[in-house]
Structure 1
Amino acid sequence: MNSIPLRIRLTAIFAAVMALVLAGAGYLTLSRFRESQSEYGIAHKVQQAALDDLVRELATG
C-alpha cells in the first residue's frame, strides 16, 4: 500500500498534533501575560521587554 512505515507516519502525526498544542499553549500564555501586565500598569518599555523575553523563551522551547 504505502511505502512509508506506520511508525514514521504515526510519529509525523504526533509531531504535528504536539506542534498545534504547543502553539495554542504559547498563544494562551502570551495573551494572559499581556492581560496581567496591563492590569498592573507597568511601564510600556518594561512590559515590552518582558513580553519579548517570554516570546523568545517560548520560541526556543
Structure 2
Amino acid sequence: MHYRLISRNEQNEVVKSTEAGDDFMAAVSQGAHLRHELNAAYQVDLISVTHDGEEHKLAQLGGFA
C-alpha cells in the first residue's frame, strides 16, 4: 500500500495529485505542508492506494466553510 495526496479547489475539482510514498506519518506531514503552501482555497485529501489500485480516503486536511 502507498499513499497519495489529492488537492481539490472549492468546486471539488482535482487540482494536483502527488504520490506520498508508503509511510503514513510522512504522508500526513507532506499533506500538511502542501495544505499550508496552497493556502485556504484548497483542501488536501490523504488517500491510501492498495496494490490492486483501490483507493480509500483516510483524512481531509483543510476544507471549505
The TM-score normalised by the length of structure 2 is 0.36
More strand as a share of residues: 2
Larger gyration radius, structure 1 or structure 2: 1
